[in-house]
Amino acid sequence: MGEVINGAEKKYFIKWFLEKYELQNREAEWLLQYLASNDHILERVHFIDNFKNLPKTILMSTKCVQMTPFKFYKNRRVTSDVEKAFLDIHNNPHEDIYIGLFFKDRSVSPEYAAVLETNPQEDSKDADALVSLQAEMILDLAVKNYRLSKIYQEIDHALDAGDRQRFQELTSKLKELIELG
């Protein structure tokens, strides 16, 4: 997952899938065949497991699982009508299509794993979390450097004033700050 899956790999997978499994909705099978026959649209097809927050999603199930036969989601609208999904795909060939397939043994299918991609919305959330974490680490380092600088200044003042007790207090504080990492 994570790498770009080319159209030939997707076409091979769809052919394999349709030979091995029978969809609950026969029109959904026809839709998959249409996708496999159109290279331009096939490049926009993404097989996913996590389909939250995606603009255009199709869910299909085989007869060997107890799931809804077919659902088409677009911009928070939902339909079970395969023809509406087909018309939308046909009329908007430039839009990405995210497909979730439900079939027996999908979690251990190497064929499915070969075409499975990650949800781009998840990726951006992960990237946002990573950037946030990096910013927090940089901020923590800046605060630590500021505190070290202040302690060094105070140590210099204690030395200049000949204040041995203050010097010892500050060096202990400095040691603790350095040990905290």
CATH of the domain at 42: 3.40.1530.30
Residue 37 has pLDDT above 70, yes or no: yes
Query: Is 169 a domain residue?
Result: yes
Q: 67 and 132 share a domain?
A: no
Please indicate, yes or no, whether residues 45 and 78 belong to a single structural domain of this protein.
yes
Residue 1 resides in a domain: no
Strands, sheet with 77-79, edge to edge from the N-terminal-most edge strand: 77-79, 70-74, 56-61, 97-102, 45-48, 116-117
Are 16 and 101 part of one and the same domain? yes
- 85: domain range? 7-118
- Are 47 and 1 in contact, with CB atoms under 8 Å apart? no
114 lies in the same domain as 131? no
Residues 41, 130: one domain? no
pLDDT of residue 145: 85
Take residue 49 and report the two structure tokens written for it.
């497991």
DSSP-assigned letter for residue 85: H
The CATH code of the domain that includes 156 is: 4.10.810
Task: Note whether 78 and 114 are same-domain residues.
Answer: yes
Residue 18 covered by a domain: yes
Per-residue confidence (pLDDT) for residue 128, from 0 to 100: 57
Looking at the fold, whether 141 and 55 belong to one and the same domain comes out as: no
Shared domain check, 96 and 27: yes
pTM above 0.85, yes or no: no
Does residue 106 sit in the same domain as residue 132?
no
Does some domain include residue 103?
yes
What is the per-residue pLDDT across 67-93, written as a single tens digit (0 to 9) for each? Answer: 889 999 998 899 999 999 999 999 999
Residue 168, in any domain of the structure: yes
Confidence of residue 1 (pLDDT cuts 50, 70, 90): very low
pLDDT for residue 50? 84
User: Are residue 167 and residue 81 in the same domain, yes or no?
Assistant: no
- Residue 32: both structure tokens together: 């998959």
Query: In the prediction, which pLDDT does 142 show?
Result: 81
Q: Examine the fold and report which residue of 86, 118, 150 is the final residue of a domain before the chain moves on.
A: 118
Whether 141 is covered by a domain: the verdict is yes
34 has pLDDT over 90:
yes
Termini Cα distance of the chain:
36
Q: Name the domain boundary from 118, 134, 166.
A: 118
pLDDT of residue 51: 80
Contacts of 59 (CB under 8 A, 6+ apart): 51, 67, 68, 70, 71, 73, 99, 100, 101, 102
Q: How many domains does the chain have?
A: 2
98-137 pLDDT, tens digit per residue, is 999 999 988 889 999 999 998 776 655 555 565 666 667 6
Let me know whether 42 and 113 are in one domain.
yes
Classify each residue of 127-142 as buried b or exposed e, where b means 16 or more C-beta atoms within 10 Å of its C-beta.
eeeeeeeeeeeeeeee
pLDDT per residue as tens digits for the range 122-181: 655 555 565 666 667 677 778 888 889 999 999 999 999 999 999 999 999 998 888 776
